Amino acid sequence: MPGSANKLRITERQQDVLKEISNSTTSALRLVQRATVILLAFAGEDNQDIAKEVGFNRNAVAKWRRRWAKLWHKLILIECEQSRAGLRRAIEDALADAPRSGSPGIFTPEQVTQILALACEPPEKSGRPITHWTSHELADEAKKRGIVESISASQVGRYLREAELQPHRSRYWLNAKEKDPQQFQEKVQTVCDTYLNAPRLHAQENTHTVCIDEMTGIQALERIAPTKPVQPGRIEAREFEYKRHGTLTLIGNFHVVTGKLLAPTLGPTRTEADFATHVMQTVTTDPEASWVFVVDNLNVHASETLVTEVAKTCEIKQDLGKKRQTRRAQIAGKPQEVLVG
């Protein structure tokens, strides 16, 4: 009977990289198969079952198990010293064929570096009418600039993945308008403390903490014909054409403690009167409780109308002062919170 092979050792990060390679649709097939061999071996399967599943013979499975076991300690050092991209390159090298005689790679490190630098430039700098680079556009621009004589889009894509560059993606971010680091930290601390205190206030003092935000410009659409339901052999059919009924604004409350959407408002506009009405309607859902509303710095969130309504609800008799001098001060002195109770 054939002997059973020892179970391989794999760290969590190594396992994540191997799964990424094994599930890849762009990596070479042989690399995908070898990564799968290591994962199955780590799962405890024997060589014969792995060979059937991957399409190798038993000797090939044993070869890559031995290769991994031999290089595992080296991979551990690389994992500790380098980035995830470095670990992936090391694992791909470990699963690659041994070097063979022949001509060296056709692209020098300098050329690869220039292609990666190009990917970090905005496309408009190259006079291209696009907002984000694609592998095809980068390959074309690299040839146009004389970085390389010829290169495929797939090769450019491999270089980008190895460098963990994703020029086709973007995300929104917001510059802090507060220039004083100490004041900025104080404001951040206030917001964080509000969220941290929410569970205790809810449990002990009957205080609801909700975060409010608006979604504007929601299209109100009506299909011109009913949707046809699913049937055997036929999926649901939805009418393509529709009527427009303008746009709506959703004002929603996220209850910080329960995680529920509480008393949302749907209307055609988002004015200071709309927001003040929304806050007051929310309070009426539990009039005996106290409320903390966390909002951003939109002007309608600190309006005269809202201050007046809060003062009326809280039975504040003192002079509220002039609009521009006191509307924020009257809301508990915190532009991030509206306190009612």
For residue 114, is it within any domain? Answer: no
For residue 216, is it within any domain? Answer: yes
And the tokens for 314? 């809280």
For residue 99, is it within any domain? Answer: no
When pLDDT is cut at 50, 70 and 90, the band that residue 113 belongs to is: very high
When pLDDT is cut at 50, 70 and 90, the band that residue 330 belongs to is: very low
Regarding whether 209 and 306 lie in a shared domain, the answer is: yes
Regarding whether 328 and 243 lie in a shared domain, the answer is: yes
> 17, 89 in Cβ contact below 8 A?
no
Regarding whether 335 and 220 lie in a shared domain, the answer is: yes
In the prediction, which pLDDT does 141 show?
Answer: 96
**pTM for the full model?**
0.50
DSSP state of 221: E
Question: What is the gyration radius of the CA atoms in the chain, in angstroms?
Answer: 31
Helix (H) or strand (E) holding 248: strand 242-255
In the prediction, which pLDDT does 262 show?
Answer: 92
Q: Give the mean pLDDT of 95-115.
A: 79
CATH at residue 327: 3.30.420
Least confident of 90-94, 230-234, 279-283, 311-315: 311-315
In the prediction, which pLDDT does 327 show?
Answer: 43
Is residue 2 predicted with pLDDT exceeding 50? no
For 28-64, the pLDDT digits (tens) are 888 999 999 999 999 989 899 999 999 999 999 999 9
Regarding whether 17 and 41 lie in a shared domain, the answer is: yes
When pLDDT is cut at 50, 70 and 90, the band that residue 1 belongs to is: very low
Strands 207-223 and 265-267, by their bridges, are unpaired
Domain count, the chain: 3
When pLDDT is cut at 50, 70 and 90, the band that residue 171 belongs to is: confident
Regarding whether 335 and 247 lie in a shared domain, the answer is: yes
Regarding whether 142 and 27 lie in a shared domain, the answer is: no
In the prediction, which pLDDT does 99 show?
Answer: 63
In the prediction, which pLDDT does 83 show?
Answer: 86
Regarding whether 291 and 191 lie in a shared domain, the answer is: yes
For residue 232, is it within any domain? Answer: no
For 225-264, the pLDDT digits (tens) are 999 999 888 899 999 899 998 899 999 999 999 999 999 9
Report the chain's terminal Cα–Cα distance, integer Å: 79
Among 45, 320, 338, smallest CA distance to 209 is for 338
The rounded distance, in Å, linking the Cα atoms of 333 and 341 is 15
Q: Percentage of the chain with pLDDT > 90?
A: 56
Is residue 328 predicted with pLDDT exceeding 80? no
In the prediction, which pLDDT does 136 show?
Answer: 94
In the prediction, which pLDDT does 104 show?
Answer: 60
Regarding whether 321 and 185 lie in a shared domain, the answer is: yes
Regarding whether 154 and 80 lie in a shared domain, the answer is: no
Q: Give the mean pLDDT of 284-300.
A: 92
- From residue 9, how far is each of 47, 65, 168, 299 by CA, in Å? 16, 10, 36, 58
In the prediction, which pLDDT does 322 show?
Answer: 65
For residue 300, is it within any domain? Answer: yes
Is residue 102 predicted with pLDDT exceeding 80? no
Residue in the structure block whose two tokens are 């050329």: 111
When pLDDT is cut at 50, 70 and 90, the band that residue 3 belongs to is: very low
Domain containing 316 equals 181-225+238-340
In sequence order, the β-bridge partners of residue 231 are: 234
For residue 113, is it within any domain? Answer: no
Please calculate the CA angle 34-112-136 and round it to the nearest 5 degrees.
80
Least confident of 91-95, 135-139, 291-295, 324-328: 324-328
For residue 55, is it within any domain? Answer: yes
End-of-domain residue from the set 146, 170, 194: 170
Regarding whether 321 and 273 lie in a shared domain, the answer is: yes
Q: Give the mean pLDDT of 259-285.
A: 93
Regarding whether 262 and 305 lie in a shared domain, the answer is: yes
Regarding whether 192 and 276 lie in a shared domain, the answer is: yes
End-of-domain residue from the set 94, 113, 148: 94
In the prediction, which pLDDT does 130 show?
Answer: 92
Which are the contacts of 11, defined by CB distance < 8 A and separation ≥ 6?
76, 79
End-of-domain residue from the set 75, 94, 113: 94
Average pLDDT of the chain to the nearest whole number: 87
> 228, 220 in Cβ contact below 8 A?
no
For residue 175, is it within any domain? Answer: no
Is residue 335 predicted with pLDDT exceeding 90? no
